[in-house]
Amino acid sequence: MNWFLRSLLCSLILAASSSHATSSKGEAPKPAPKVIIINMFTPEAQVWYNIPEFNLLSGNNITVPGISPLFPQVLCTKAGDICQLVTGEGEINAASSISALIYSSLFDLTSTYFMIAGIAGVNPKVATIGSVALARYAVQVGLQFEIDAREIPSNFSTGYFPQGTTAPGQFPVDIYGTEVFEVNENLRQAAFALAKTADPHLNDTADSQANRDQYASFGETVTRPPAVVLCDTATSDTFWSGDLLGGAFENITKLFSNGSATYCTTQQEDSATLNALMRGATAKLVDFSRIIMMRSASDFDRPPVGETALANLLGETPGFVPSLLNLHIAGARIVTGITEGWELIFKHGIKPDNYIGDIFGSLGGEPDFGPGSLFGGKPAP
Ligand SMILES: *[C@@H]1O[C@H](CO)[C@@H](O)[C@H](O)[C@H]1NC(C)=O
Ligand SMILES: *[C@@H]1O[C@H](CO)[C@@H](O)[C@H](O)[C@H]1NC(C)=O
Ligand SMILES: *[C@@H]1O[C@H](CO)[C@@H](O)[C@H](O)[C@H]1NC(C)=O
Ligand SMILES: *[C@@H]1O[C@H](CO)[C@@H](O)[C@H](O)[C@H]1NC(C)=O
Ligand SMILES: *[C@@H]1O[C@H](CO)[C@@H](O)[C@H](O)[C@H]1NC(C)=O
């Protein structure tokens, strides 16, 4: 090889290796997961391990600064198409972890589907334990004034009443923005169609059935076997139990959503998760039309007739194991439906026909709840 050829070859090799070095340092394509499963605590996380559909334990763990110290890594499949974040429990942990993920710059989340997969309490008038509910609305029912029930005026039905008002039943005056979120109904229906095929395979136990049967006075639905259902979710940091709080939050769910949302599952994170995702969408880092809120019911929000609210709260929860198992049994069909239908459908997104976003109208459009867009129907500047 002559000098000229050798030096040309040398510089080509150098150029190739240095461009490789920069691309693996600065410009390497970021992982762009197709689906991120959002769990809140260890039992919800573990149902996604050692499953036939995909492997989150294949070694692709990504440390994300600022997510929960209890769950410092996002776990991904080897291909990087499916990942899992565990937020920690309660609204503050959920919002902080989701925000840390979004602003970490470690992922390209612009076409990622976010699927909340957690267990929940349930309103026996609407659904039953073991069932898996997909929500359109998340309502932050705990965001209210409260005075202790022993000190309420005799004509108040509850100690909770909306901020800026003088009594229960009045529409909130001081609105913080996180009271109600609405997600893509067309996506919810697609997820429902995928998950519904799991109905005959959902886990159920004799103990769960015995627990449900005690609630027969609430209607026929509650005594039926678990199913995948469509109904909304209520968020509060406070883990409540009882007929009266259940009834008060049914009322608040209707009031905050102008009659649209149905108080069905109860949990401590979803409005916080949705607000962090909504902010991420205003920063153009996530797509708010790609959110699935899935909650399976582990226990009832109120006692059966003849039992106290305290006994309901502290008693056995036979729905716990079935609800965990059913998160995976129903949810895996949604996840694999998205990954297998990626090129054909999901990559491009499913266009919403309904309003999506918060009560302020931050993402544009006119909310079908609340006092109207703060931004004249346009996205927040
Ligand atoms: C990734 O995290 C999971 C769950 O914590 C763990 O089981 C697995 O061993 C981790 N993999 C590596 C390579 O650290
Ligand atoms: C309760 O009674 C007070 C005093 O009579 C009255 O001003 C108030 O409007 C009543 N509130 C409700 C919720 O009925
Ligand atoms: C539900 O799961 C429990 C615990 O793994 C198991 O014992 C039971 O057989 C399952 N029931 C159904 C109907 O799959
Ligand atoms: C729910 O609202 C209705 C109608 O205002 C009221 O009669 C009822 O007492 C409320 N329930 C609770 C538990 O606050
Ligand atoms: C929701 O209800 C409140 C209170 O009645 C009302 O002021 C508001 O205009 C309603 N919003 C929509 C979108 O209907």
Residue range 43-94, pLDDT digits in tens: 999 999 999 999 999 878 999 999 999 999 999 999 999 999 999 999 999 9
Tell me which amino acid residue 90 is. Answer: G
> Which alpha helices (H) appear in 26-121, and where do they start and end?
42-46, 91-103
Q: Is the CB of 258 under 6 A from ligand 5?
A: yes
Sign of CA dihedral 139, 140, 143, 145: positive
| pTM score over 0.95 | no
Q: How many Å apart are CA 42 and CA 70, to the nearest integer?
A: 9
Residue nearest to atom 9 of ligand 5 (CA): 371
Q: Is the CB of 254 under 6 A from ligand 5?
A: no
Question: What is the Å distance from ligand 5's center to 121 Cα?
Answer: 28
Ligand 3 nearest atom to the CA of residue 325, by list position:
2
Q: Is the CB of 368 under 6 A from ligand 5?
A: yes
Residue nearest to atom 1 of ligand 3 (CA): 203
Question: What is the Å distance from ligand 3's center to 179 Cα?
Answer: 38
Q: If you count them, how many residues does the chain have?
A: 381
Q: What is the pLDDT of residue 26?
A: 57
Q: Is the CB of 171 under 6 A from ligand 5?
A: yes
Question: What is the Å distance from ligand 1's center to 69 Cα?
Answer: 15
Residue nearest to atom 4 of ligand 5 (CA): 171
Q: What is the pLDDT of residue 35?
A: 98
Q: Is the CB of 21 under 6 A from ligand 1?
A: no
Q: Is the CB of 75 under 6 A from ligand 1?
A: yes
Question: What is the Å distance from ligand 2's center to 154 Cα?
Answer: 9
Cβ atoms of 240 and 62 closer than 8 Å: no
Q: What is the pLDDT of residue 23?
A: 41
Ligand 2 nearest atom to the CA of residue 167, by list position:
13
% of the chain exceeding 70 in pLDDT: 93
Q: How many Å apart are CA 33 and CA 363, to the nearest integer?
A: 23
Question: What is the Å distance from ligand 3's center to 204 Cα?
Answer: 6
Q: Is the CB of 283 under 6 A from ligand 1?
A: no
- Please give the chain's pLDDT, 381 residues, in tens: 444 444 433 443 333 333 333 344 556 789 999 999 999 999 999 999 999 999 999 878 999 999 999 999 999 999 999 999 999 999 999 999 999 999 999 999 999 999 999 999 999 999 999 999 999 999 999 999 999 999 999 999 999 999 999 999 999 999 999 999 999 999 999 999 999 999 999 999 999 999 999 999 999 999 999 999 999 999 999 999 999 999 999 999 999 999 999 999 999 999 999 999 999 999 999 999 999 999 999 999 999 999 999 999 999 999 999 999 999 999 999 999 999 999 999 999 999 999 999 999 999 999 999 999 999 999 999
In testing the pocket of ligand 2, which one of 155, 156, 251 has its CB within 8 Å of the most ligand atoms? 155
Ligand 5 nearest atom to the CA of residue 255, by list position:
2
Q: What is the pLDDT of residue 28?
A: 76
Question: Per residue, what are the HEC states of 239-283?
Answer: CCCCHHHHHHHHHHHHHHCCCCCCEEEEECCHHHHHHHHHHHHHC
Q: List the one residue out of 312, 291, 227 whose CA is nearest residue 264.
A: 227
Per-residue pLDDT tens digits for 295-338: 999 999 999 999 999 999 999 999 999 999 999 999 999 999 99
Residue nearest to atom 9 of ligand 3 (CA): 205
Ligand 2 nearest atom to the CA of residue 157, by list position:
13
